[in-house]
């Protein structure tokens, strides 16, 4: 019998799966957000001017997000076909190598290689969270899995804070930050011997007549497709807040005439520090209310209030603006609930695909959100004194509205038994 085949009877929350998934997500977030933190200094050192930094920076984020989208599908299929562990450690290896390579780029083709390695990093970063959450959800008893996934998300999110302080410690040596991220990932692979596969996955493998890892099955059944689409849309506000408002907080601050210079790297650090506490709070509230959906309603409301405060911050001090970035971060601290819901919505034979692709599609929604943001700037230029601000606000309100509708129409999954497979 496999060691985790009786996992539903276990009560120990801090088991090997939770610890390794937490540390893996820590390194994942470190690497995912590192570019946003060192974006300006790295592109400046490669010879770009202010306008080019804005343009190339946005392109690099979108290249990384494209890698996340493609990687989410690949790792999701692999997770349901070969197991959660193959994805957990394969993804860590890939993004670690990619980030070391990012630190080595130089020469006249440096920007081209920067784009290539951000795509590869995105491919690697796509797998860790979904595999980790799926594994944790399957090895913990149903009444405690929300606590386990809360721990994974909270520890993981703090990786962004670590990335900021590492970048500060090394100053202009942005390459060292990438080397550290890659080294942390490779070191984490040494812990793989202590983690064993999910018993639920082993049980599903014994059922040879059940389809596993067939991504197209999400689109051949109406009910399954609706569940899947809602899982993705529920997380939409997170990457609007992070990828637009916080990543480009310096540009918004200029338009808002904030008194002082805003460092986007510091804004990201503050946002994610607050997001860590938001994840802890959302997980605890979910356990208290015994509901996933009610938590989403609460945090969406906080996101709406925070966005309105952000765009009302004309002429405020830098300190006040950073505080609003922190409030934004806390308000999107429903990430743990979002990914847990994605895992809980599907049977064992589709669970890894759902839990891996949903957060990556939510991240990748930035590739849809960004064009809307840019398009509205053009469309609104004759109606607002600052179309940049107006388009940012309207884009945000649209993202929050879509997420609200998706959450309201989703099924409640708190306490749901996950030991089942879905028929064709």
Token pair 């008893």 is at which residue? 141
List pLDDT tens digits, range 354-386. 988 988 888 778 878 988 998 888 877 766 667
Q: What is the mean pLDDT of residues 209-221?
A: 83
Whole-angstrom distance, CA of residue 286 vs CA of residue 51 = 44
Q: pTM higher than 0.85, yes or no?
A: no
Task: Please measure the distance between the N-terminal and C-terminal CA atoms of the chain and give it in whole angstroms.
Answer: 28
How confident is the model at residue 5, as a pLDDT?
Answer: 39
CATH code where residue 400 lies: 1.20.1250.20
**Structural domain of residue 364, as residue ranges?**
11-190+220-408
> Does a structural domain hold residue 215?
no
Whole-angstrom distance, CA of residue 211 vs CA of residue 16 = 29
Token pair 């939510």 is at which residue? 362
> Does a structural domain hold residue 211?
no
Going from the C-alpha of 305 to that of each of 56, 257, 302, 312, the distances in angstroms are: 31, 21, 5, 11
- Within 82-109, residue ranges assigned H as helices are 84-102
Q: Return the higher-pLDDT residue of 264 and 310.
A: 310
Q: Please say whether the beta carbons of 160 and 176 come within 8 A.
A: no
The DSSP-derived string for 21-77 is HHHHHHHHHHHHHHHHHHHHHHHHHTT--HHHHHHHHHHHHHHHHHHHHHHHHHHHH
> Does a structural domain hold residue 379?
yes
SS3 113: helix
> Does a structural domain hold residue 304?
yes
| Domain count of the fold of the chain | 1
> Does a structural domain hold residue 113?
yes
Going from the C-alpha of 258 to that of each of 206, 249, 250, 329, 405, the distances in angstroms are: 61, 10, 9, 19, 34
Whole-angstrom distance, CA of residue 105 vs CA of residue 98 = 11
Neighbours of 46 (CB within 10 A): 18
> Does a structural domain hold residue 325?
yes
| Residue 394: pLDDT over 90 | yes
> Does a structural domain hold residue 97?
yes
Give the mean pLDDT of the chain: 87
Going from the C-alpha of 119 to that of each of 68, 70, 114, 123, the distances in angstroms are: 8, 9, 9, 6
List pLDDT tens digits, range 334-359. 988 898 899 899 988 888 899 889 88
Whole-angstrom distance, CA of residue 269 vs CA of residue 161 = 5
Whole-angstrom distance, CA of residue 167 vs CA of residue 34 = 8
Q: Please say whether the beta carbons of 243 and 57 come within 8 A.
A: no
> Does a structural domain hold residue 208?
no
Q: Which residues contact 24 (CB under 8 A, 6 or more apart)?
A: 88, 92, 128, 132, 156, 188
Whole-angstrom distance, CA of residue 315 vs CA of residue 257 = 5
| Residue 203: pLDDT over 90 | no
Q: Please say whether the beta carbons of 130 and 83 come within 8 A.
A: no
Residues in the chain: 424
Torsions phi, psi of 259, nearest 5? -80, 95
List pLDDT tens digits, range 88-114. 888 989 999 999 999 999 888 999 999
């Amino acid at each position: 019998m496999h060691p985790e085949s009786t996992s539903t009877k276990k009560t120990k929350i801090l088991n090997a799966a939770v610890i390794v998934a937490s540390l893996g997500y820590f390194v994942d977030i470190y690497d995912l957000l590192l570019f946003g933190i060192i974006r300006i200094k790295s592109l400046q050192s490669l010879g770009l001017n202010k306008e080019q930094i804005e343009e190339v920076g946005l392109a690099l984020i979108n290249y990384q997000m494209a890698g996340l989208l493609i990687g989410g599908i690949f790792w999701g299929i692999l997770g349901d076909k070969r197991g959660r562990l193959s994805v957990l450690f394969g993804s860590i290896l890939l993004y670690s190598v990619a980030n070391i390579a990012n630190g080595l780029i130089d020469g006249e083709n440096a920007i081209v290689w920067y784009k290539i390695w951000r795509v590869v990093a995105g491919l690697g970063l796509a797998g860790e969270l979904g595999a980790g959450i799926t594994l944790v959800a399957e090895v913990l008893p149903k009444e405690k899995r929300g606590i386990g996934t809360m721990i994974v998300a909270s520890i993981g999110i703090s990786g962004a804070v670590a990335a900021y302080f590492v970048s500060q410690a090394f100053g202009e040596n942005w390459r060292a930050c990438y080397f550290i991220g890659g080294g942390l990932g490779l070191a984490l692979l040494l812990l793989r011997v202590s983690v064993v596969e999910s018993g639920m996955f082993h049980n599903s493998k014994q059922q040879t007549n059940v389809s596993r890892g067939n991504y197209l099955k999400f689109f051949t059944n109406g009910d399954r497709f609706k569940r899947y689409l809602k899982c993705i849309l529920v997380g939409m506000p997170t990457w609007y807040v992070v990828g637009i408002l916080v990543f480009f907080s310096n540009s918004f601050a200029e338009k808002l005439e904030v008194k002082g210079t805003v460092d986007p790297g510091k804004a990201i650090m503050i946002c994610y520090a607050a997001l860590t506490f938001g994840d802890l709070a959302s997980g605890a509230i979910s356990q208290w209310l015994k509901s996933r959906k009610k938590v989403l309603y609460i945090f969406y409301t906080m996101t709406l209030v925070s966005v309105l405060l952000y765009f009302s911050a004309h002429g405020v001090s830098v300190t006040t603006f950073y505080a609003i970035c922190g409030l934004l971060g806390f308000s999107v601290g429903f990430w743990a609930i979002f990914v847990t819901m994605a895992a809980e919505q599907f049977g064992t034979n589709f669970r890894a695909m759902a839990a891996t692709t949903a957060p990556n599609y939510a991240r990748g929604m930035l590739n849809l959100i960004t064009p809307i943001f840019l398009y509205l700037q053009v469309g609104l230029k004759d109606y607002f004194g600052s179309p940049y601000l107006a388009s940012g606000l309207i884009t945000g309100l649209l993202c929050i509205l879509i997420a609200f509708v998706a959450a309201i129409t989703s099924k409640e999954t708190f306490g749901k038994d996950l030991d089942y497979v879905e028929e064709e």
